[in-house]
Structure 1
Amino acid sequence: MTTALRDEDYDALAPETFDSPYALYADLRGRCPVAYSRAWNGFWSVLRYADVAAILADPNYVTSVQNVVPKLAFTGRRPPLHLDPPEHTPYRNALNPLMRPERVAALEGPTRAFAAELLAPMVAKGGGDICAEFSSHLPVRVFGAWMNLPQAQLDVLHDAGRAFNIAVQAFDDEAVKATSLALYDMARALIAERKARPLDPKTDPTSALLAARYRGEALPDEMIVGTVRQVLVVGIIAPTVLIGSICVHLSRHPDLQARLRAEPELMGDAVEEFLRLYTPYRGFARTAKTDVEIAGRKIAKDEPIALVYASANRDEAVFERADEFILNRPNIRDHLAFGRGPHQCLGMPLARLELKVALEELLARTPGGFELAGEIRPTRCPEIGALSVPLRFLDPAA
């Protein structure tokens, strides 16, 4: 097991700014690409792209022991993320069809309407905190539409998800448990509603899970609860952070802001580069089933290993001028923002749509541009990026 007496390569609990983690990861990639920290009872960080990609493809590394650093799962198993193949597969199979292109495309209109509605008061007053007032609400609205949630539940979901994230940010285990249990209550209520009044499994995630069969049997009730609980929050936090980070970048680079405003057809390519540059999750964890050696470091079985996507996506060995935004980067599709393998992000198509629409609508409604209007508040593990970004919308006539 991990020992607190081991020499520490870096302090994962050190204070951070918006930019400082990227400088730290660049330093570690050069001198210590598999680094140890004593934080959270000790864990390893794998920082180079090649090593992260290799582990993602290796079934010797599992997620069923610990799937994120710091460990957050105190309140039950939440498929599919907390299970390994083949146990996780029926949950993926139930949900995958709901991310088909036609299902996601049907959400573009509502997503655009949600974005316009949320931006209107910000435009009217000339700015605001893009995270608190826009990007923390938009994913809830979009996810609510995807999950067919009634309007009355959306504010509850927003507040519960935000409370959970604040507890995680504060490393408050008791608050994490309490807020997670509140999300479980929401999941159970939603499942009870779908059992009483089923919807079409082809268009409703909860109904799809209830209709799924594995070896001829229905999926276990508590595992369905865990899956719905996971789905309720997993697609909310990352877009909040990523949209905030993108707005920081565009505020710092008004030329890029102006170009994307003038050429919205470039937005799809821009989103991919933003995903690489500002990957919203630092990464997910794996645990080796046997003792392993990575980049000369010996890691015992059962020790948590963080795969730092945010570092791998800025690895200069793979991405030239990795700290720069380069539109139409030739190998942009190699980024790891959504992971790879059996646990690659289920919601990729919806995330791409949401980000593209959000940026198109923001840029269209700020013809004079926008700039930073206060201090950026960064998020902490397991996310990376901006949690609060005050913006000032500029007068186009000025």
Structure 2
Amino acid sequence: MATRTIDFQPDPVETFDSAWEQFASLRSRCPVAHTDAMGSFWALTRYEDVKRAASDPATFVTSVQNVVPKVAFTGRRPPLHLDPPEHTPYRRTLTPLLSAERSEALAGYARDCADRLLRPLVERGGGDICGEVASYLPVQVFGEWMNVPENWVDRLHDSGRAFILAVNLNDPEAMKRTSLTLYDMARELIALRQEHPLDPATDITTALLANRDRGEPLDPELIVGMVRQVLVVGIVAPTVTTGSIAVHLSRDRALQDFLRANPQRIGAAVEEFLRLYTPYRGFARTAVHPVEFGDVTIPEREAIALVYASANRDETVFPNGSSFELDRPNIADHLAFGRGPHHCPGRHLGRMELRVMLQALLEATPGGFELAGEPVPARWPEIGAISVPLRFLP
């Protein structure tokens, strides 16, 4: 067997900026790159290549491996782990419950949560915006959206964070252990909804139990897998993106002051922050036959990382792609929420959470904020910051 070329190695000791710099280098010198790390995979770093793979589910499947490093050791979790048409009944059940209207209806609740979480930091003059605020806000909002028992919120936060930490440490045994804890919570919630169903138009668990595909109930184990997936999938991205935004605004006081004085521009700023600090670099596909990208042929059945975070900085699509520019004319083309049949169904909820979180932070810090220490970077499959200590200025 021929020796596989190694084009890059993920840095085991990253800084907040180093991963972005590595992808900029790959885009210019080796946009379709191979590494033997994390079980061996290919990385697509340019916009058009990533968009092509995300948009062609017949060639690039998600059912073999959906993320780099591989973390699904404990069962299939729809809809992300399934390909069309198998994934479609689950996706069809989920999407209406995450509409823009349903998401915006939670904005007031999210703002109350953000203000409450920020209050201790304001009293102390600062703190970790990720660990103390941004990691809790999406759990509380998701808990409200999923109608979980109120006393589950802290448990869900701790269990979700433990799983995310295991993924960031690339610790397979810890991934399995923490994932199984989340499966236990999913089964408890399903049992609760079987005994006390809610309106399927407003409750995802009840909707999954009530849904039919060609007249038949959905697979019970896949329902468990989907509830398990939904419990945690919306936690990490808002946390990491909020951390990255906080780092950026700490470094750019003029932009921080502008947004504080012009809150009506926060929504547009969030869209550019999503492009600039897309939180995922490791969503994966597998080609069902050899595929060519330029002069590179990727063999079938080998993991391919769709590096959305790199694609969204591709200078051929977004000029000065590594810089923040408010009101980019083609901002709607960014891939922060993916493309194709796995286009993120929670995009409206995620946008709302980031907008509310940023506005609450700016209003809570009229004197401004700055970094109080080095941010802790996220690791594959995420990118950005998972811990950002801030100092609130008088």
Q: Same fold (TM over 0.5)?
A: yes
Q: Distance in 2 between matches of 1:57 and 1:7?
A: 27
Alignment of 1:256-267 (within 5 A): 256-267=255-266
Select the residue among 20, 30, 33 that pairs with 1:32.
30
Aligned to 1:139: 138
Deviations 1:89-119 (A, max 9, x none): 0001111111123321210110010001000
State whether structure 2 residue 107 is matched by structure 1 residue 112. Answer: no
**Structure 1 unpaired stretches of 5+:** none
Aligned to 2:8: 10
Residue aligned with 1:117, SS: helix
Q: Which amino acid aligns with 1:155?
A: D
* Cα shift at 1:57: 1.7
Alignment of 1:378-389 (within 5 A): 378-389=377-388
Aligned to 1:351: 350
* Cα shift at 1:295: 2.1
Alignment TM-score, normalising by the size of structure 1: 0.97
Q: Residues 226 and 262 of structure 1: is their aligned pair in 2 closer, same or farther, counting only changes over 3 Å?
A: same
* Cα shift at 1:13: 4.3
State whether structure 2 residue 281 is matched by structure 1 residue 286. Answer: no
Equivalent pair of 1:4/1:38 in contact (CA under 8 Å): no
Alignment of 1:41-56 (within 5 A): 41-56=39-54
Deviations 1:12-67 (A, max 9, x none): 24421100111111111111110000002210001110111111222211101100
Q: Distance in 1 between matches of 2:101 and 2:48?
A: 34
* Cα shift at 1:4: 9.2
* Cα shift at 1:293: 1.4
Equivalent pair of 2:39/2:69 in contact (CA under 8 Å): no
Q: Which moved more, 1:7-16 or 1:318-327?
A: 7-16
Q: Distance in 1 between matches of 2:144 and 2:163?
A: 21
Aligned to 2:301: 302
Aligned to 1:394: 393
Alignment of 1:1-398 (within 5 A): 5-58=3-56, 59-395=58-394
Residue aligned with 1:360, SS: helix
Residue aligned with 2:82, SS: coil
Equivalent pair of 2:11/2:19 in contact (CA under 8 Å): no
Residue aligned with 1:287, SS: strand
Q: CA RMSD in A?
A: 1.0
Q: Distance in 2 between matches of 1:75 and 1:172?
A: 14
Q: Distance in 2 between matches of 1:201 and 1:19?
A: 44
Q: Which amino acid aligns with 2:247?
A: V
**Structure 2 unpaired stretches of 5+:** none
Alignment TM-score, normalising by the size of structure 2: 0.98
Q: Which amino acid aligns with 1:29?
A: R
Q: Distance in 2 between matches of 1:89 and 1:154?
A: 29
Q: Which amino acid aligns with 1:186?
A: M
Residue aligned with 2:121, SS: helix
Deviations 1:297-343 (A, max 9, x none): 11111000001001100000000111110000100011000000100
Residue aligned with 1:154, SS: helix
Identity of aligned residues (%): 63
Equivalent pair of 2:282/2:380 in contact (CA under 8 Å): no
Residue aligned with 2:292, SS: strand
Q: Distance in 2 between matches of 1:247 and 1:39?
A: 30
Q: How many residues align?
A: 393
Q: Residues 215 and 244 of structure 1: is their aligned pair in 2 closer, same or farther, counting only changes over 3 Å?
A: same
Q: Which amino acid aligns with 1:126?
A: G
Q: Which moved more, 1:150-159 or 1:292-301?
A: 292-301
Residue aligned with 1:44, SS: strand
Q: Residues 4 and 79 of structure 1: is their aligned pair in 2 closer, same or farther, counting only changes over 3 Å?
A: farther
Equivalent pair of 1:280/1:384 in contact (CA under 8 Å): yes
